Amino acid sequence: MTTNHSKGISEDNSPGLKSGTNSPGSVRSIAKKPKTESLKNFIAMAKRNFSKTEGLLYALLFVFVLTFIVFPSVSFHTTMRSF
């Protein structure tokens, strides 16, 4: 791979990495299109995953709520009462 620093252009001479044109010599990307799914599918998947972990995700959710929501609000509330 050579780089032209004055113009900021890089040229890659390796096969299979051509892009930008649809000419017969160009190669298409092997990347897949991202899937778009509905909220209904997401909620169904979340329920399925929560039931498969046998309470672990509920425990992690509980710890997250305590750590990032309850503790800061309680400490802020008790600090402001002293003033």
10: helix, coil or strand? strand
What pLDDT, in 10s, does the model give residues 28-71?
778 888 888 899 999 999 999 989 998 898 899 999 999 998 88
Residue 76 clears pLDDT 90, i.e. is over it: no
Alpha-carbon distance of 31 to 37, in angstroms, equals: 18
pLDDT at position 5 over 80: no
49 CB-near residues (< 8 Å, 6+ apart): 57
- Higher-pLDDT residue of 7, 80: 80
Residue-range domain boundaries for the chain: 39-81
Model confidence at 23: pLDDT above 70: no
Of 51 and 8, which is predicted with more confidence?
51
Maximal C-alpha separation, the chain: 75
pLDDT for residue 37? 84
Q: How far apart are CA 58 and CA 66, in angstroms?
A: 12
pLDDT of residue 59: 93
> Can you state the percent helix, strand and coil of the chain, rounding each to 5?
50, 5, 45
